[in-house]
Amino acid sequence: MSLLQQVKMVIIEYTHLAKDALHIYVALAILLGACALFGWKVRQWRPWLLVLAVALAGEYWDWYENKSIGQTADYDGHWKDVWNTMLVPTILMLTARYTTVFEKTPPAAEASEEAASGDEPQVSCAATGGERDVV
């Protein structure tokens, strides 16, 4: 068993996560880590492609190790792992690209939304004297 497989087994044993859940967490760590490290945006293809490259490399490694010890290839299992790994990053990328869910609302727009909603604006108490007076 290679060092990678041993590390995976230790993580699974220590965290009590299923292998499928581990794929999801690793994918999110790579996606968000790449965005933080390289200044990429989730809506861009680059972080998504990096997750895909890591997922395919990991599955190739699993396939190669299984082949080297004489096990038959489980192609359906490998593709399930890639699909499982890529689902959440794909949803996040498409949501960031094609919706306004992750967009920041400018402060001026927030104020106009509050006024349009009929809510009264929140106004701080008027000072009774100087600005440092305590009421």
**Domain annotation covers residue 38:** yes
**Domain annotation covers residue 129:** no
User: What total number of domains does the chain contain?
Assistant: 1
Residue 41 has pLDDT above 80, yes or no: yes
pLDDT in tens, 68-123: 888 888 899 999 999 999 999 999 999 999 999 988 877 776 666 666 666 555 55
Sign (positive or negative) of CA dihedral 108, 113, 118, 121: negative
Q: How many CB atoms lie within 10 A of CB 23?
A: 23
Return the pLDDT at 117: 61
**Domain annotation covers residue 70:** yes
**Domain annotation covers residue 135:** no
Give, rounded to a whole angstrom, the gap between the first and last alpha carbons of the chain: 71
Q: Which domain holds residue 55?
A: 3-102
What pTM value is reported for the model?
0.73
* Number of separate helices (H) and strands (E) present in the chain: 5, 0
What is the pLDDT confidence band of residue 59, given thresholds at 50, 70 and 90?
A: very high
**Domain annotation covers residue 47:** yes
Return the pLDDT at 110: 65
Residues 6 or more apart whose CB falls under 8 angstroms from that of 56 comprise: 82
Q: Which residues of 85-104 are buried (b: 16+ CB within 10 A; e: fewer)?
A: bbebbbebbeebeeeeeeee
**Domain annotation covers residue 130:** no
